Structures are given as C-alpha cells and as structure tokens.
Amino acid sequence: MTRIVLDTDLVSYHRTGHLPAEYAHLVAANQHRITFATAGELWKGAQTKRWGGVRRGALDLWLHEETVLPAGLNVARTWGTITAAAQRRGRPRPLNDSWIAACCIERGLPLLTLNRRDFADFAEHDGLVLIGA
C-alpha cells in the first residue's frame, strides 16, 4: 500500500458514495491521509449547510479515524516558498489548495484529486505529484 493524500473534493464524493469507481479503487488500495486544510474545509461545509447533529457526528467520527497531516514550521516554509513563486509567475493559487500542496510537497506524498487543474501549477513548478485515474 502506498501513502496518498486525498483532496477535499475527492473526500466529499467518497463520503457520499459518489466517487467514480476508478478513484474509489485508488482510495481503497492505498493508505490515505488528509490535510488540516481539508479537515477545515469539511467542517466549514458542515457548518455552512447547517448539518444536524447526526451528520456532524458522523463527520467527526470519520475525521477522528483519518490521519490528518498538520501544518508545522516545515510546511509553513514550503507554503511560503510555493505561494511566493506562484505569485511571481502571475499564478496565485487559492489558499487551501496551496496549503494542501505544501503538506504533500514537504512530506513527499502524492495527491489524489478530481481537480488536477487546480494543482497543475504546483506539479509543474514545485514537484507536487498528482495521481488519478
């Protein structure tokens, strides 16, 4: 089994049972992790949509069973480096996407996402490894 990081979009589809089969196979066949940014995005979605206690409880249980990658000093340094470089190239990226990319790059872990285009600049210039079906 390979360690991979799941992007937020992929987690959302996975948890609702709407993930395309080829991606579901990759999730099942690998040891997956999420980043702190994804955990935050999932909680924001639950709060924004005013989920009830049962759905929030299920999310909380799922998150406690996942390995969540934190942001430490090395991730922060990587984030600063890649976001500054993207800005200089005229390609500033969304905040959470850049944190997810920094977590993956700093730890040398590939990212499984349905939104490859969102991360293509980091893959091209910063060594982010993207995987997908």
- Per-residue model confidence as pLDDT tens digits over 61-87: 999 999 999 999 999 999 999 999 999
**Coil, strand, or helix at residue 90?**
coil
What pLDDT was estimated at residue 133? 57
What pLDDT was estimated at residue 1? 66
Q: List the structure tokens of 41.
A: 């995005």
Domain ranges, ordered by start, for the chain: 3-131
Q: Provide mean pLDDT across the span 19-24.
A: 93
Q: What pairs with residue 35 in β-bridges?
A: 69
Beta strands in the chain (DSSP E): 3-6, 31-35, 67-69, 111-112, 130-131
Taking a C-beta distance cutoff of 8 angstroms, is the pair 52, 86 a contact? no
pTM: 0.92
Strand pairing class (111-112; 67-69): unpaired
CB atoms inside a 10 Å sphere around CB 74 = 12
Question: Does domain 3-131 sit in CATH 3.40.50.1010?
Answer: yes
What pLDDT was estimated at residue 51? 83
What pLDDT was estimated at residue 90? 93
Q: How far apart are CA 81 and CA 97, in angstroms?
A: 14
CB atoms inside a 10 Å sphere around CB 81 = 14
Mean pLDDT, all residues of the chain: 93
Percent of the chain at pLDDT > 70 equals 98
Q: Does 119 score more than 90 pLDDT?
A: yes
CB atoms inside a 10 Å sphere around CB 106 = 20
Q: Which of 90, 76, 85, 74 is nearest to 127 (CA)?
A: 85
